[in-house]
């Protein structure tokens, strides 16, 4: 079957290309949301504000009606901003990886009943921005899996700064059901999340381990060595 089956090598190339295409597409959608949707919503908000200040004789019922619409638009605005942030986390560029991870954990807490804890061990140091974006994506996918599949009520993210940098995302959920299922099997079912995480870790010259059991939940461990990362091209 050689030359026809899925091999580790062509899986790597495939996942890397999908990952890159996904990143480009996310950037495009995020810009679009920022430049059009968010601006339009802000414009409507301003129009309503102006209408209110130009029509102070409105009765209280009509005023309340408009204020309720303003509140709804503000909520939508916040949701779209979050969406845009998740698509292209400019928070990484502005504040760095750790605040970006805090942002992911807060977003998870707000949108689910899962509690989150962040542990930082060792002396934190910044990575380059491309590396930080890749790490962010890995943690984002891990947390999305926790939310969608784990039935956990707690997820702990630990970052250990030693000679290398280790990231652990540990949930207390039900574990990955069929632990015999390999990443290739998942991929053949169209499930690309874990494979994408592992490929991203490899892009950083590192690797990813999954430890999962029904009674202890799932832990994803990513180890990134210090030093040059030969596989990394700019994202």
Ligand X SMILES: Nc1ncnc2c1ncn2[C@@H]1O[C@H](COP(=O)(O)OP(=O)(O)OP(=O)(O)O)[C@@H](O)[C@H]1O
Q: Which of residues 171-190 bind ligand X (CB under 6 A)?
A: 171, 173-177, 186
Q: Is-contact 159 167, C-beta < 8 A?
A: yes
Q: Does 193 bind ligand X (CB under 6 A)?
A: yes
- Cα 153 from Cα 89, distance rounded (Å): 25
> 132 vs 199, which CB is nearer to ligand X?
199
Candidates 18, 140, 20, 23; CA nearest to 88 is: 23
Could you tell me the CA-to-CA distances from 139 to 11, 40, 128, 133, 224 in Å, in that order? 21, 32, 17, 10, 13
Name the segment binding Mg ion (CB under 5 A); options: 13-21, 23-31, 177-185, 190-198: 190-198
Name the minimum Å distance from CB 222 to Mg ion.
Answer: 15
- Cα 194 from Cα 15, distance rounded (Å): 11
Contacts of 197 (CB under 8 A, 6+ apart): 137, 138, 141, 142, 208, 220, 222
Q: Does 170 bind ligand X (CB under 6 A)?
A: no
- Cα 85 from Cα 105, distance rounded (Å): 13
> 34 vs 191, which CB is nearer to ligand X?
191
Name the segment binding Mg ion (CB under 5 A); options: 124-132, 138-146, 182-190, 223-231: 138-146
Residue nearest to ligand X (CB): 193
Name the segment binding ligand X (CB under 6 A); options: 24-32, 74-82, 86-94, 145-153: 145-153
The SS3 call for residue 112 is: coil
Name the segment binding Mg ion (CB under 5 A); options: 6-14, 26-34, 171-179, 193-201: 193-201
Name the minimum Å distance from CB 63 to Mg ion.
Answer: 46
> 59 vs 113, which CB is nearer to ligand X?
113
Of 30, 116, 140, 150, which one interacts with ligand X (CB under 6 A)?
150
- Cα 6 from Cα 27, distance rounded (Å): 30
Name the minimum Å distance from CB 44 to Mg ion.
Answer: 35
Q: Does 192 bind ligand X (CB under 6 A)?
A: yes
Could you tell me the CA-to-CA distances from 142 to 162, 168, 228, 229 in Å, in that order? 22, 10, 25, 22
**List of residues contacting ligand X (CB under 6 A):** 145-146, 148-150, 171, 173-177, 186, 191-194, 218
**Which residues of this protein are in contact with Mg ion, per CB under 5 A?**
145, 193
């Amino acid at each position: 079957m050689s030359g026809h089956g899925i091999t580790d090598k062509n899986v790597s190339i495939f996942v890397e290309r999908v990952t890159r295409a996904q990143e480009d597409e996310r950037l495009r959608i995020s810009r679009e949301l920022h430049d059009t949707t968010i601006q339009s919503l802000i414009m409507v908000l301003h129009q309503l504000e102006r209408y209110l200040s130009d029509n102070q004789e409105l009765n209280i019922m009509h005023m309340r009606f408009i204020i309720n619409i303003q509140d709804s638009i503000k909520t939508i605005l916040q949701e779209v901003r979050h969406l845009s942030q998740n698509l292209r986390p400019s928070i990484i560029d502005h504040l760095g990886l750790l605040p970006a991870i805090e942002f992911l954990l807060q977003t998870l807490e707000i949108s689910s009943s899962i509690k989150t804890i962040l542990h930082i061990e060792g002396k934190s140091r910044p990575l380059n921005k491309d590396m930080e974006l890749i790490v962010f994506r890995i943690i984002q996918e891990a947390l999305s899996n926790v939310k969608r599949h784990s039935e956990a009520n707690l997820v702990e993210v630990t970052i250990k700064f030693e000679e290398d940098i280790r990231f652990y995302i540990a949930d207390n959920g039900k574990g990955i059901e069929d632990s015999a299922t390999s990443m290739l099997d998942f991929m053949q079912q169209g499930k690309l999340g874990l494979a994408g995480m592992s490929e991203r870790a490899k892009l950083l010259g590192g690797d990813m381990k999954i430890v999962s059991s029904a009674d202890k939940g799932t832990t994803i461990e990513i180890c990134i060595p210090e030093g040059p990362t030969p596989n990394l091209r700019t994202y």
